[in-house]
Amino acid sequence: MSLVERLLACWEDPIGDRVDPEADFRAVYHDPVTINGVATPVADLVRRARAIQTALEGRRTRIVHRIETGDVIVLGFYLTGRHVGPFPTALGKVPATGVEISVRATDILTVVDGRVADIWVISDDLGVLTEMDAVRLDV
């Protein structure tokens, strides 16, 4: 199984069904892993995965771009699902809306010794907040 496949399994396979989810994440990520310049413990990744799994029913990831060059992997993807629980955002948690949402994101991953050591996340937060009707744009 490739690193990308193992990474996706960390986020997609139900956290509650695992014996040791932190060990599963540590097999893919350094602990801590640097995310947008901030050292982040693997335990925080597990909490985030659990929150997203709780927030999105029928959660699925569709990779639209995958570029691998040596120690760098770039993934452009859509994360979709029906918003059924509190969804974590930069503005705080957004209560369930019941609507289908699609998060558009790009992750730039630096791989060291076979695991992800650094991530730059670029996400269309405004787009998903608009889909959830958490913000309204006056145009």
3-state secondary structure 32-59: EEEECCEEECHHHHHHHHHHHHHHEEEE
Q: Is the pLDDT of residue 138 over 90?
A: no
pLDDT digits (tens, 9 = 90+) for 7-57: 999 999 999 999 999 999 999 999 999 999 999 999 999 999 999 999 999
Q: Which domains does the chain possess?
A: 3-131 (3.10.450.50)
Alpha carbon dihedral 137, 56, 68, 1, in 10-degree steps, equals: 180
pLDDT digits (tens, 9 = 90+) for 64-97: 999 999 999 999 999 999 999 999 988 899 999 9
For residues 18 and 13, give the distance between their C-alpha atoms in angstroms, rounded to a whole number: 8
Residue 75: what pLDDT?
Answer: 98
If one counts every other C-beta atom within 10 angstroms of the C-beta of residue 108, the result is 15
Residue 90: what pLDDT?
Answer: 83
Residue 139: what pLDDT?
Answer: 73
Q: Is the pLDDT of residue 137 over 90?
A: no
